[in-house]
Structure 1
């Protein structure tokens, strides 16, 4: 990828530059009298206090990165927006910031105390600052590893063709050329033949004290800012704009003392997403997002009785083993990761009002912890299923908040058993208003954010359109949660497919679930037949 190749050059050019220091020290020309002694001072790096450096204006982003990562610097690299990749390679070589030319650059150079600038694809002219332009390789051809590139007319100050060339064995694309002119340490020829003049005053063996424990996660945009961070000593790790979706980004963030995101565009959520990634906690199947490259195969029921589904037909260890056994045939049918899961009914619709009068029996929390913890150890996801009767979903979910602290636990709302104040179970199919669903989603999203948790799944059970009223108004603005509509009707396959198609009409853009009933379906689909359903289900449960 463009980013990774650019970062590779950053690292390897640094090696080449250090090599040049030792190999040319005996033959390097004496310091020119017009080179100020003050240029020998080193840049001062800083640990950034901003968690996110982002935007679409490359110059503004480069300025913010410089302000965050450097307190001062004797030099800088200034570039045009189109040559950020080349310029980003130089920042780490000289241990200086990389700025994209634009409004505010002069002020930043003054803040840094800059006395020399390397201009890359920029015609910048600065009062009182020695601008060192990039120059093309001279003398016909310049070897860069195994390839050669045509050069331009001879340059009297740096006749590259007459100078010994030392290919860095760590990177055959980089050649260090000993210059013949005054005031230069080395002529660095990068991939493609572009060459850069190195100020003689720079001491490659005596670099700034770099920051420790800082990791920058970046999507590959704003390379000048990335070069600045690398120059200050930060480790650079490629990441999607939502770092929760990358195992590499999560691992890097978890190992860092300070995490900074450098991304294109505006990302109002990325600060808390970085905080979640920095916990290092991953969901079953990897990373911290629910549906990125994953599909779930679940057992449904209650761990305390077999009457509600197959989940209760064996002890905890047997349930974990059976979930894995049921999921295994699906792995050969998709390139996605198959995650075994448990959908546990924690509140059960009841025929009697009970002490609280809500026609729902709330199971004690202690009933569910052993299975939840065993599932987590086995890499299985858990969904808590709610049948609230005359209560409401949010009130019941809040009673089980301590179970939501487990990173691998989500929730399911079962509107079939959401009754009105005068309704009785089994007299009609219940429903839920979309306002109640959205209220639950915001509560759960707030809980996820406040506790630095991975994304949580919200399942909405539905086999009649009326079960979720005004579902086109489902609020999916919170990336802390991910929705799935679960078509959990039973019966003949013709009827089930008709329901599946009807539910998809004018549906919100969510994931989808299918339920296989071992005894009621006529006949029950095989794994191959289940994944042949279109669109392929993201979640399959067995009851």
Structure 2
């Protein structure tokens, strides 16, 4: 059964909902602690397609040989980061030590850790430049309904600004992670529009905490349909077009088949690149099997993996997956997240 843990702060008059340590499915629920990154590459959004690659229009279906592009897909608009870079992100919330790296260590230590981790990945795959990222949970699922009855707590702008400043220090990206509870993407995304309209701010959505059927978060594993994911992609695409931005990245967490339904109907766009990110913690064997059965078996566009500094080490685990092991996955993940 999913476990609840709460953290109170003097700033918030509510409790943050901490991630799970168990699962109601055959696969363990993965919730991650995020590690360090360095600016091994300076974030640049090119205005043209990289010269080393053939030029395609946005409507041409292509596979790029020798690149971690998992399925034939639309070639992205100019300035796209994937698959030409790998992203390494540290995850969490500043108010909670239970939800990931960002809340566990002082800012300078987090940035130093992230820089070190980014350098490790750059060394493991020298052909793919690495971009560091801060993945901040901006809307946090709650065990209680709250004033709006939506079972969520939205973070104040000051905290999002802090996360953005950390990303800027690394010349990297900020991913805003959304746990909608009993709210909806249609309601929550417009409230973050001023951030999502920035060129270095991306979006992550978490089906685990999408409570479509009236449950409280943490009691059952939630779900998104392709229609929900397509809405988020279309929303981001509208911001790209309205503000003349480079393509956005949309990350979707997943560790069970039921967390995402009708995957074949998910539509990547020239303006929005979609990453299906294998969430969940457990032994190396369990994580490898989950990747094969849940991520690789239902390809959308790009793939990612979440690694847990603590939970991936719980018995009977023999250790966290190494970059070399992760790079041996098929397809090789282009998005790496640490909790």
Query: Partner residue of 2:108?
Result: 317
Going from structure 1 to structure 2, the CA distance change for 1:371 and 1:352 (only over 3 Å counts) comes to: same
Distance 1:451 1:288, change over 3 A: same
Written as runs of structure 1 = structure 2, the 5 A alignment for 1:80-229 is none
Tell me, yes or no, if the aligned pair for 1:323 and 1:342 is still in contact at 8 Å: no
What is residue 388 of structure 1 aligned with on the other side?
Answer: 180
TM-score, length basis structure 2: 0.74
Select which of 404, 429, 433 maps to 2:221: 429
* RCO comparison, higher one (Cα < 8 Å, 6+): 2
Deviation at 1:416, TM superposition (A): 0.3
**Cα distance in 1 between the residues matched to 2:95 and 2:226:** 32
| Alignment-derived partner of residue 284 in structure 2 | 493
Structure-1 residue corresponding to 2:141: 349
CA displacement, residues 35-74 of structure 1 (integer Å, 9 cap, x when unaligned) = xxxxxxxxxxxxxxxxxxxxxxxxxxxxxxxxxxxxxxxx
Q: 2:150 aligns with which of 358, 367, 372?
A: 358
1:452 aligns with 2:244: yes
Q: Residues 235-280 of structure 1, C-alpha deviation per residue, up to 9 Å, x if partnerless?
A: xxxxxxx9543499xxxxxxxxxxxxxxx997689xxxxxxxxxxx
CA contact (8 A) 2:135 2:177 kept: yes
Query: What per-residue deviation string (whole Å, max 9, x for no partner) do you get for residues 409-440 of structure 1?
Result: 11111000000252122221100121111111
Aligned to 1:541: 337
Provide, for residues 52-101 of structure 1, a one-character-per-residue CA deviation record: whole Å limited to 9, x for no partner: xxxxxxxxxxxxxxxxxxxxxxxxxxxxxxxxxxxxxxxxxxxxxxxxxx
1:518 Cα deviation after fit: 1.2
Q: In structure 2, what is the Cα distance between the partners aligned to 1:376 and 1:491?
A: 32
Q: Which of 202, 205, 208 is 1:410 aligned to?
A: 202
Measured at CA, do residues 267 and 352 of structure 1 come closer, stay the same or move farther in structure 2, by a change above 3 Å?
closer
- For residue 288 of structure 1, the aligned residue among 66, 70, 79 is 79
Structure 2: how far apart are the matches of 1:432 and 1:459?
13
Alpha-carbon distance, 1:457 to partner: 0.6
Residue 384 of structure 1 contacts residue 412 of structure 1 at CA under 8 Å; is this kept in 2? yes
Aligned residues between the structures = 270
DSSP-derived class of the 2:121 partner: helix
Give the alignment partner of residue 329 of structure 1, picking from 120, 128, 136: 120
1:303 to partner: Cα distance: 2.4
Match of 1:510 among 298, 301, 310: 301
Structure 1 413/377 Cα, relative in aligned 2: closer, same or farther at 3 Å? same
Point out where structure 1 has 5 or more consecutive residues left out of the alignment.
Answer: 1-241, 249-263, 270-286
- Do the aligned partners of residues 540 and 385 (structure 1) sit closer, same or farther apart at CA in structure 2, a change above 3 Å counting? same
Residues 1:268 and 1:520: Cα distance change in structure 2 (over 3 Å): closer
| Residues 324 and 351 of structure 1: CA distance in aligned 2, closer, same or farther (over 3 Å) | same
Look up the match of 1:527.
Answer: 323
How far is the alpha carbon of 1:499 from its aligned partner?
0.9
Structure 2 residue matching 1:528: 3-state secondary structure: helix
Relative distance call for 1:450 and 1:244 in structure 2 (3 A) is farther
Counterpart for residue 258 of structure 2: 466
Distance in structure 2 (CA, Å) of the matches to 1:413 and 1:315? 26
TM-score normalised by structure 1 residue count: 0.47
- Distance change >3 Å, CA 396–CA 532, structure 1 → 2: same
The residue matched to 1:330 in structure 2 has which SS? helix
1:245 maps to 2:36:
no
Bigger Rg, which one:
1
Name the structure where helix makes up a greater proportion of residues. 1
After superposition, the Cα gap between the structure-2 partners of 1:505 and 1:296, relative to the gap in structure 1 and judged at 3 Å, is closer
For residue 330 of structure 1, report the CA deviation from its aligned partner. Answer: 1.2
How big is the shift at 1:505?
5.1
Deviation, structure 1 residue 366 = 1.7
Aligned match of 1:480: 271
1:370 match: 162
Structure 2 unaligned blocks of 5 or more? 1-45, 61-77
Counterpart CA distance in 1 for 2:56 and 2:305 is 37
User: How far apart in 2 are the matches of 1:387 and 1:371?
Assistant: 17
